[in-house]
Structure 1
Amino acid sequence: MNRGTTVPTVRGRHALVLLRDEPDIAVVRRQLDRLGMGVTVRRPGEAEADGAGIDLVFLDVDAAPEVGGGWSLGECAPIVAVVGTETPSRLKWMLDREPAAVLIKPLRSAGLYTAVVVALHQGQRRRETDARIEKLEGRVRSRRTVSSAIVRVMTRYGLTEPDAFALVRRAAMQRRTTLEHVCAEIAGDGELPLRAGVG
């Protein structure tokens, strides 16, 4: 583990258990109760489940044909895959769901806490990575907008790139807004929203 890594808190979390075998359900329910987690049990193939408030999903890979696409688990609910039959087709189905942890049947209480902690940790890391990617993609989009606006100002006013950038930056300061906002306006209508003239 990295020095900054902390073990996720389990108590107070809520798990959706999508298992079909009663002994497995009993093991998971008993262990999660001991850990202080809430549990909702649904059989694979039952009516659609709402993923709201679900922190973790136990998913029966052996019930793959019964688990349709109608489950609304949310993008951030990490999956603990529960595997009994290790066939390539079932494992492919499991991998397509990108599980954060795996348990092998028959389930026992040993290893279940570890799987829960690993899955919650991986889920948190996945959310952080997604947020970083979204932020970086926003920066890339912003840079494209800024570049496009600077080129328009250069062409329109016959300025060098540093002079066009300085002009746009001055417009942003005059309007007390961001450079990106002014560039988006320029890219949209081609006009430089300056109170002061060029030069």
Structure 2
Amino acid sequence: MIDVGIPNFQGWQATIIHRSDENTQRLERQLQRLGVAARLIALDVSAVELRRQSTHIVFFDVDNGYDGMLPWTVGEAPVPLIALIGSEAPGRLAWLVAQNPDAFLQKPIQSSGVYAALTIATQAKAARTRVRDEMARLREKLAARPLVVRAVIELMAEGLDAETAHAALRRRAMTARRSIEHEAALMLAASSSSKARRA
């Protein structure tokens, strides 16, 4: 079980992309009770405003939303996104799903649900960020695998079999407290430099 603790949003800044109405008024009141300052911006200037202002979380209107309303590539928002949805029309739901929000609130906004949406959105965003970072790390590692193969081949040229050469490279990396990929790159660079001096 993941321990999320009791989230505290005191001092946060929220941006609400929605026309002013009873829903936004209720949402602003609930956010204020949680210590979150809210800023309402119009749908037609949202992308421009979001680029200029800092915010901790974004609430956005699905019913009147449009492509390009949010300035980020889908899934790349730097903050958690909470969708505000009233219509269950298939086109609106398809657009909602395409925005990849971290949580949603059903309209009309009620006095309950805002804290839960904030908590779910921040946890989902944190989890998504961890997965993205891990994928980037694995891609980097995968891209460096040819260096490991070349380093093992170079060690094999010194008379070691493949398994022993790989174990020797791993040992060197562990001793130096580096990844095997980093150690392979350093070994190949040193070897290349040494060969250049001999030539």
TM over 0.5: yes
Hey, what does 2:21 align to over in structure 1? Answer: 22
Q: In 1, Cα distance between the equivalents of 2:15 and 2:177?
A: 46
Q: In 1, Cα distance between the equivalents of 2:83 and 2:60?
A: 5
Q: In 1, Cα distance between the equivalents of 2:182 and 2:120?
A: 42
Structure 1: gaps of 5 or more residues: 195-199
Deviation digits for residues 12-51 of structure 1, max 9, x if unmatched?
2221100124222211111111110122211111151235
Deviation digits for residues 48-104 of structure 1, max 9, x if unmatched?
123563221111001123x52562596331211111111111111111111121212
Q: In 2, Cα distance between the equivalents of 1:187 and 1:109?
A: 63
TM-score (norm 2): 0.76
Counterparts of residues 1-80 of structure 1 (less than 5 Å): 2=1, 4-46=3-45, 48-50=48-50, 53-65=54-66, 68=68, 71-72=71-72, 75-80=77-82
Counterpart residue type for residue 113 of structure 2? G
8 Å Cα contact 1:20/1:63 also seen in 2:
no
Counterparts of residues 1-199 of structure 1 (less than 5 Å): 2=1, 4-46=3-45, 48-50=48-50, 53-65=54-66, 68=68, 71-72=71-72, 75-154=77-156, 156-157=157-158, 159-165=160-166, 168=169, 178=178, 179-185=180-186, 191=192
Deviation larger for 128-137 or 185-194: 185-194
Taking only the aligned residue pairs, the percentage that are identical comes to 27
Q: CA RMSD in A?
A: 3.3
8 Å Cα contact 1:182/1:193 also seen in 2:
no
Structure 2: gaps of 5 or more residues: none
SS at match of 1:128: helix
TM-score (norm 1): 0.76
